[in-house]
């Protein structure tokens, strides 16, 4: 699906998406192969992210993440990195995997040529386009279906796209804990709970 034009944006079969969703919900083994429509599978992933009981970025951090849209340069990325450290582990792990996928999709946005010179079509889904599609599903102010859930201001909508685009483009660096921070944490742990250090070093 990486070369499918408009992946995550082009419409899908609602009936087939619902059928796939029900198969997953029943715990069936669902095989996604070349016989499945790329757009149906993409729509199902969007639905899954949108309908999580708690969004990947918890609602209490919505305002903090949106405030980074007004920042620029290193300050913006440093603030995003610190905010990501506040995510519950399951949220952070899932968000990282989703961002990796979106970054991979964005890498194939432009048309290219194979070694023999044949043109490979691009999917036209840049990081900005993907942020437009996924942003409202990841950064939610209200629960879907609640009053005013869909009534985002223009400023909030624009900020959501900026923030998610930065997360897609810089996810490698943003989810990396710097050596300096690691050393600082280890020093503090050595003073308060040395047994944890031994466990972490064994695990590493």
Angstrom distance (rounded) from CA 190 to CA 3: 50
pLDDT at res. 76:
96
Per-residue pLDDT at 100 exceeds 90: yes
Q: What digits encode the pLDDT tens for the residues 24-64?
A: 999 999 888 888 899 999 999 999 999 999 999 999 999 99
Angstrom distance (rounded) from CA 84 to CA 152: 23
pLDDT at res. 32:
86
pLDDT confidence of 195, banded at 50, 70, 90? Answer: confident
**3-state helix, strand and coil shares in percent for the chain, rounded to the nearest 5:** 60, 5, 35
pLDDT confidence of 203, banded at 50, 70, 90? Answer: confident
Which H/E stretch holds residue 113?
strand 112-113
Mean pLDDT taken over the chain: 90
Angstrom distance (rounded) from CA 50 to CA 151: 16
- For the purposes of burial, counting CB atoms within 10 Å of the CB of 146, is it exposed (0-12), middle (13-18) or buried (19 or more)? exposed
pLDDT at res. 146:
62
Question: Which CATH architecture fits 56-178?
Answer: Orthogonal Bundle (1.10)
pLDDT confidence of 122, banded at 50, 70, 90? Answer: very high
CA atoms within 13 A on the CB side of 117: 0
pLDDT confidence of 198, banded at 50, 70, 90? Answer: confident
Place of tokens 């979106």: 102
Percent above pLDDT 70 for the chain: 95
Smallest CA-to-CA distance from 21 within 30, 33, 12, 10 is with 30
The DSSP annotation for 182-200 comes to HHHHHHHHHHH-HHHHHHH
Angstrom distance (rounded) from CA 61 to CA 86: 9
105-111, long-range: CB within 8 Å, 24+ apart, which pairs? Answer: 105/2, 105/7, 105/8, 105/130, 106/130, 106/168, 106/169, 108/2, 108/3
Per-residue pLDDT at 204 exceeds 70: no
Angstrom distance (rounded) from CA 27 to CA 17: 16
pLDDT at res. 25:
92
In this prediction, residues 65-92 reach a mean pLDDT of 94
What is the rounded end-to-end Cα distance, in angstroms, of the chain?
36
Q: What digits encode the pLDDT tens for the residues 136-156?
A: 999 998 876 665 555 667 889
Question: Domain extents for the chain?
Answer: 1-51, 56-178
């Amino acid at each position: 699906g990486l070369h499918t034009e408009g992946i995550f944006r082009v419409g899908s079969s609602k009936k087939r998406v619902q059928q796939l969703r029900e198969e997953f919900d029943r715990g069936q083994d669902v095989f996604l192969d070349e016989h499945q429509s790329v757009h149906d599978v993409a729509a199902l992933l969007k639905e899954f992210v949108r309908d999580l009981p708690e969004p990947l970025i918890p609602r209490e951090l919505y305002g903090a993440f949106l405030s980074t849209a007004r920042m620029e340069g290193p300050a913006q990325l440093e603030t995003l990195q610190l905010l990501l450290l506040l995510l519950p582990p399951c949220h952070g792990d899932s968000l990282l995997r989703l961002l990796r996928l979106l970054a991979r999709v964005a890498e194939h946005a432009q048309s290219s040529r194979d070694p023999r010179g044949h043109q490979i079509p691009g999917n036209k889904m840049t990081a900005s386009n993907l942020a437009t599609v996924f942003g409202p599903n990841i950064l939610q102010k209200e629960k879907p279906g609640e009053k005013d859930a869909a009534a985002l201001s223009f400023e909030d909508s624009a900020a959501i796209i900026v923030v998610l685009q930065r997360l897609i483009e810089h996810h490698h660096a943003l989810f990396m804990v710097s050596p300096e921070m690691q050393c600082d944490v280890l020093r503090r742990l050595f003073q308060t709970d040395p047994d944890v250090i031994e466990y972490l070093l064994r695990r590493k």
